[in-house]
Structure 1
């Protein structure tokens, strides 16, 4: 699925047809189980992660998903660009080029990037963000040549020290806008951005002049529940269980011109302990109730 692809429109059925299931939401499923389960449920898109795809075989995974009639809506993840050591930076660039190649084989135009946290002992946020820009300058043309767009994902500020120094959509756009929109976009993830009272303006900015949705490369959903059951990393909530106005986000993203997939990405041991088909059926129902 891509901007302007199947499932266009603001009507209920059109929105529901854009539902994509991220692989980590049903970690208990193998890749073949994921493909079969989504096909049986009528979910047409899947977001994949590099480690299980590599374990299965990238080309084999591409065939599996394609034969199931599914589309890979994103690949996660690349990134981790903030190291100061030249050797570490070179290794990160090499790994990201491999991730771009994997995305191309899978047929997805979106590689999600988690930018990286502060190097040990550093307090220089601005310097870390500039190193992200330096890495993007080297990788964006390489990705474009393979039909892949780099998608910067801002994470909740609780991750800024160790995982992602890009905490807001505005910060992500400040970096992405240094490059052509077709090469570098942003991820709108409700779990990470729901708290920010400037996110509506950021989504409109990401849409660009005329509402073309030009910088929005991916739109992901999870809810924020309190108290966080497993800490911030594994504490994501099922749709409708928490504080996030999911429909508000969907309406704002649509208004910005985005017509691509809407990917449900929930890291939750409680969901992983359940039957995968039951979890997916619940997601479809919650999506229709709280997002459509």
Structure 2
């Protein structure tokens, strides 16, 4: 498989697209893999979504998103656990519908501090405990729960797990095939311990998603960082090559760790979302080809 063939379009990059529009734009752009989001899948229905994915011939790289595990015990937390069990089933169904090489990866955004709380350590412990409840379900379904560390600026509202090391601290408490971590360049490029932690993830062996290698690395996502950040910092991602991230050492480290899966481009950016889907796909392909693909080792 060539470097270009590893590109996967995460559906968030064309946020307003329906499932059919996302599949059509992906295939029209010559991309062979897609990462889906639960809301557009739910709008069509799981079984119908799986059928349309199968008919497209695309690989399936991940489902976004599960998580939000930080509430104290009570109805809100129980509802989140139940919803994540449903997301595990959805991931397994979509992965089975994807073309050969699809990965059964459910991306987890673990949640921020509950309202009124300052207990960061306690929140992380509740994340661990929730994953402990879900890991047996994931293992039974053949799904990998992929903990995504988010940049520290999101710790209060979106993810109390801020570094790859913190994600691995949790993941390593569970079987390697059922719990892993996401390496997303936007969130981890700044971390001085990043390469040590990527190596640590790879040292876990070849029991990654569907046995595809990479140890605890369940997904590799790429987009760029540029300042000034948007007023809504969630919407500050850029096409690969349009910012300051050096994709060479990160990409080489991820593949040196044994990762052999798809590479998702996931962009949250209002200007990109407001652009025609075909234009966004073309820009994504061009940015990936220039900034990321040259650094993927030959198979």
TM-score (norm 1): 0.93
1:192 is the counterpart of 2:187: yes
Measure, in 1, the Cα distance between the counterparts of 2:243 and 2:48: 38
**What is the Cα deviation at residue 274 of structure 1?**
1.3
Distance 1:268 1:283 in 2: 13
> How far has the Cα of 1:29 moved from its partner?
2.3
| 2:169 aligned residue (151, 165, 174) | 174
Q: Say what the alpha-carbon RMSD is for the aligned residues.
A: 1.3
Alignment check: 8 A CA contact 1:206 1:256 kept: yes
- Hey, which bits of structure 1, 4+ residues long, moved more than 2 A? 209-212
> Is the 8 Å Cα contact of residues 88 and 141 (structure 2) preserved in structure 1?
yes
| Residue aligning to 1:183 | 178
Say whether the 8 Å CA contact 1:221–1:264 is kept in structure 2. Answer: yes
The answer to whether the 8 A contact 2:50-2:94 is kept is: yes
Partner of 1:43: 31
1:236 and 1:194 map into 2 onto residues whose CA distance is 13
Do residues 27 (structure 1) and 15 (structure 2) align?
A: yes
Equivalent position of 1:274 in the other structure: 275
Residue of structure 1 in register with 2:247 after alignment: 246
Offset at 1:209?
5.0
The answer to whether the Cα contact below 8 Å between 2:204 and 2:216 also exists between their aligned partners in 1 is no
The counterpart of 2:142, out of the listed 147, 150, 162, is 147
* Equivalent residue number for residue 55 of structure 1: 43
Q: 2 CA distance for matches of 1:41 and 1:279? A: 10
After superposition, residues 1-292 of structure 1 pair within 5 angstroms as 7=1, 14-107=2-95, 108-208=103-203, 212-292=213-293
Alignment check: 8 A CA contact 2:226 2:238 kept = yes
C-alpha displacement of 1:40: 2.2
Structure 2 residue runs without a partner (length 5+): 96-102, 207-212, 294-299
Q: Is the 8 A contact 2:176 2:204 kept in 1?
A: no
CA contact under 8 A between 2:9 and 2:33: conserved in structure 1?
yes
Secondary structure class of the residue paired with 2:288: helix
Following superposition, the deviation at residue 213 of structure 1 comes to 1.3
Kept in 2: contact 1:28–1:276 (CA 8 A): no
Q: CA deviation at 1:254?
A: 0.7
Aligned partners of 2:65, 2:10: CA distance in 1, in Å? 12
Q: Distance in 2 between matches of 1:65 and 1:231?
A: 32
- C-alpha separation in 2, matches of 1:32 and 1:209: 38
Conservation of the 8 A alpha-carbon contact between 1:78 and 1:113: yes
Shift of 1:210: 5.9
Deviation at 1:231, TM superposition (A): 2.7
Question: Following TM superposition, by how much is the alpha carbon of 1:41 offset from its aligned partner in structure 2, in angstroms?
Answer: 2.1
Question: Which is worse superposed, 222-231 or 138-147?
Answer: 222-231
CA contact (8 A) 2:65 2:109 kept: yes
May I ask how many residue pairs the two structures share in their alignment? 280
Cα contact 1:222–1:264 (8 A) shared by 2: yes
Distance 1:162-1:196 versus aligned 2 partners, 3 A rule: same
Alpha-carbon deviations, 1:183-202, whole Å to 9, x = none? 10000000001111111111
Q: Distance in 2 between matches of 1:233 and 1:101?
A: 28
Q: Which runs of 5+ in 1 are unaligned?
A: 1-6, 8-13
